[in-house]
Structure 1
Amino acid sequence: MELVIPDMTCGGCAKAVAHALNRVDPAAQIDIDVPVKIARITSALPEQRLIEAIEAAGFHPSRRA
């Protein structure tokens, strides 16, 4: 899945997002592209659970259109 995270502005933000995702799914594959503010995630967990984890870290993700 691809999520747009408009308030992810730097490498530190990307690390925080990756850490939040890894806490809920240590096996998740995460590819973050900070300049375009996209996180590509492969996980067995439901999308909503991953979105909630990112939101809990202080970010506002949405499904890429």
Structure 2
Amino acid sequence: MQEFEIQSMTCGHCASRVAQAVKNLDAQAKIEVDLPTKTVRVDTAEDRASVAAALAEAGYAPK
């Protein structure tokens, strides 16, 4: 399980865009979003760098 802190994720719309960015990379990924802590947990076979790059490309670069 990979964990990312995304400071720019502030609402439900942001959370859904973050989740979609991960799903575009790996449709089988499991995603947990915690808006109050601005944390996303991702269970995927993709490496951390690939997930971080997908998030950044969507406009939600992890810290």
Q: Tell me the TM-score normalized by structure 2.
A: 0.95
Match of 2:45 in 1: 44
**Contact persistence 2:30–2:42 (CA under 8 A):** yes
Name the aligned partner's letter for residue 15 of structure 2. A
Name the aligned partner's letter for residue 48 of structure 2. E
Q: Map of 1:1-65 to 2, 5 A cutoff?
A: 1-62=2-63
Q: Tell me the TM-score normalized by structure 1.
A: 0.92
What is the deviation of 1:60?
1.7
Q: Which runs of 5+ in 1 are unaligned?
A: none
Listed one character per residue, the Cα deviations across residues 19-58 of structure 1 (whole Å, up to 9, x for unaligned) are: 0000010000000001110001100000000000000000
Q: Which runs of 5+ in 2 are unaligned?
A: none
After TM superposition, the runs of 4+ consecutive aligned structure 1 residues lying more than 4 A away are none
**RMSD of aligned alpha carbons:** 0.6
